[in-house]
Structure 1
């Protein structure tokens, strides 16, 4: 079949690669000049198969109110007259129950664990190098209350058979020796040892070259005007350069996916939540993390990527804005210098990207009511983590095969 993939970020490129492997004639369309130049460009670098949780959780509404008044807040809300924003927030709040959290967490872990297997297979068959490390994620707790609250995550990890280890202060320092310099600031942690790290931009560009070798065509610098739909079936994609015909179309446009499908009666509950990152050169390896440390207080991930540290996090709900606010930079600097003092943040590069978030935390992967039109979007902060598994699921569905994991509750039909 002729398949068009919309979007050349990590999700779009992995989808194109798997579709080409399945024997399809694949074209990727993206408005940028190359792959991974938007949300995939400078993300936190985590590949968090174990540390993946819905943002909608019990207690979050009260925490959110407190966060709004913190100097270094993990959540920033800039309300505006925007029906999509209001609807998304109401839906997210409705998922902040113990029952919904358990369902959503289990669903995310299922897809993440499949992605772990898929990424390992992809790495073996391609030989791609991307500053990868396989040393786990340490969720770091500064207070006993945070450590006690991790019980719900431990329960979900145990139920799904995901390896974990609850650590005291000394255990955290054993895993991340540089923390010995700030031992009095931590009380414990939760280690998910199967987690990985890596440069998403490097990986996506390397995989795009492999996809090109399989015959995938990349149309960069191409503006997408809309979808060509006749009756209830997709016919192609309308671009600024004309209409491209296709038997199937996969929408992997991240936060911009809802805008494309809305004219066709598809209400996709994905909304942009802006995240920020700093990339800092390592000047003293003894004071740098070995893998990823997740600072639970500020919801900031501090990750080692080769000779750099990537500091990423925060959630800013402000619509489709991509400005770089100096207070956000100061929050990132505060977290990394507080836990890993000694780095030269004056040499850091500052970046922001729009994460495509669903109200229940799980991405939307699967068919729509328009025949031949598929979605692979809404991965939020876990696009890098879930991309390989999501790509295999979407390739199976487009090819008419049953996916290797249960994907029925991943499709947009779950919101009906």
Structure 2
């Protein structure tokens, strides 16, 4: 009787230890791969995933590129605290992104992109919740749902059709009256008659993305995933359509690293690393802001995760034995790779929060943060096999232009946490030669 040895697991290197990269590492390890994660920071989730709004929002997420956006964006150009701000300059990369973004603003393209986002979101949310049931983790999650509230009658009426469209796509999102909104979230009583209505879903939830990523990284390590921190990826070595190695540096020391497969989860920074290979990602950084305030009066601060329509802000309460805070995040500034805090935009967040919740929060030392979200013009992320040329979701590639060992899981924009588990699991299935159970336009198929 012959004994057949188990084949050696295929090795894969995940570039990036943000929420998408760590989730990819987890599902790839569960699929039988031998996984290494490389990141330039000393811990997971120290950049894009560090202090975002913390929503797993499927039913309230719509493409930024839609027919109403161009007119609004033009009106906001002169407002330094506008929710969406283009700081126009001579950057050709920015102008290419704007042109592609405008092309996605038609009604048909916006609806097609919405379908992609919702399909991936529903799959990801189910995957996320299954992971929460499987692993013991505490990352300040709250399962009370998400509410989008309106103080403009016109904007509330404009939300009727999108809400109904979400329902046809499988989202349990409902229109509710001001009275019902205040019953679900008493903290909104402060708005009085200014509250004209809301939409609510009890299936979405909120979580601290930084804590979630670090908790999941611990489980990854327990299952054999190797993390290499404080290490820069300087260059990707390649031969035709095959990645040969990574050129790395740490503490002024350069070295190479090899594996059989490579996955790019580098947020806004993957584009510049891949351009020399001839892989051109339609990604441009959207600079987002957040502020975190200590809670003084818990009864007057929301428990439900909120979306403030007028100011385009999301609000999530994070509580543990050690702290109780409100995270408020939002706005998008297209200003290249600049990561300096703009105090005008920071103060605009604080002013709105003070208007809503007064002295229920501590404003003496708010923790302001900014991060670069990797935006695609369509808001649809790029998941699948890389290929030479311009990358686009759903675009196929001829066999001689596909990379045989380079994969992408990037471009999630403001929905990195929302889509993290679903995109990671789908990628692990693709890399294992299987078809993910989701109607989504994977790339390089």
TM-score by length of 2: 0.90
Structure 1 residue aligned with 2:307, among 266, 272, 294?
294
Q: CA deviation at 1:80?
A: 1.7
Q: CA deviation at 1:301?
A: 0.6
Say which SS state the counterpart of residue 360 (structure 1) adopts.
coil
Q: CA deviation at 1:160?
A: 1.0
Residue correspondence of structure 1 range 172-211 to structure 2 within 5 A: 172-211=181-220
Distance 1:89 1:281 in 2: 38
Q: Which residue in the other structure is 1:111 paired with? A: 120
Say which SS state the counterpart of residue 346 (structure 1) adopts.
strand
Structure 2 residue aligned with 1:247, among 260, 274, 282?
260
Say which SS state the counterpart of residue 315 (structure 2) adopts.
strand
Say which SS state the counterpart of residue 182 (structure 2) adopts.
helix
1:282 pairs with 2:315: no
Distance 2:133 2:318 in 1: 20
Structure 1 range deviating more: 230-239 or 25-34: 230-239
Distance 1:244 1:100 in 2: 41
1:381 pairs with 2:394: no
Q: Is the 8 A contact 1:106 1:156 kept in 2?
A: no
Distance 1:25 1:406 in 2: 28
Structure 2 residue aligned with 1:358, among 376, 381, 388?
376
Q: Which residue in the other structure is 1:270 paired with? A: 283
Q: Which residue in the other structure is 2:96 paired with? A: 87
**Displaced runs of 4+ in structure 1, greater than 4 A?**
none
Distance 2:384 2:247 in 1: 22
Residues 176-199 of structure 1, C-alpha deviations (whole Å, 9 max, x = no match): 101112222221111122111111
Structure 1 range deviating more: 40-49 or 179-188: 179-188
Residue correspondence of structure 1 range 291-370 to structure 2 within 5 A: 291-306=304-319, 307-342=324-359, 343-369=361-387, 370=403
Distance 1:406 1:85 in 2: 31
Distance 1:32 1:236 in 2: 21
Higher Cα Rg, which structure: 2
Unaligned runs of 5+ in 1: none
Unaligned runs of 5+ in 2: 1-9, 388-402
Q: CA deviation at 1:336?
A: 1.5
Say which SS state the counterpart of residue 49 (structure 2) adopts.
coil
Root-mean-square deviation (CA), in Å?
Answer: 1.3
Distance 2:314 2:88 in 1: 26
Say which SS state the counterpart of residue 404 (structure 2) adopts.
coil
Are residues 412 and 292 of structure 1, via their aligned partners in 2, closer, same or farther at CA, if it must alter by over 3 Å?
Answer: farther
Say which SS state the counterpart of residue 277 (structure 1) adopts.
strand
Distance 1:305 1:410 in 2: 34
Structure 2 residue aligned with 1:33, among 34, 38, 42?
42
Q: CA deviation at 1:36?
A: 0.3
Distance 1:85 1:151 in 2: 33
Q: Is the 8 A contact 1:140 1:296 kept in 2?
A: yes
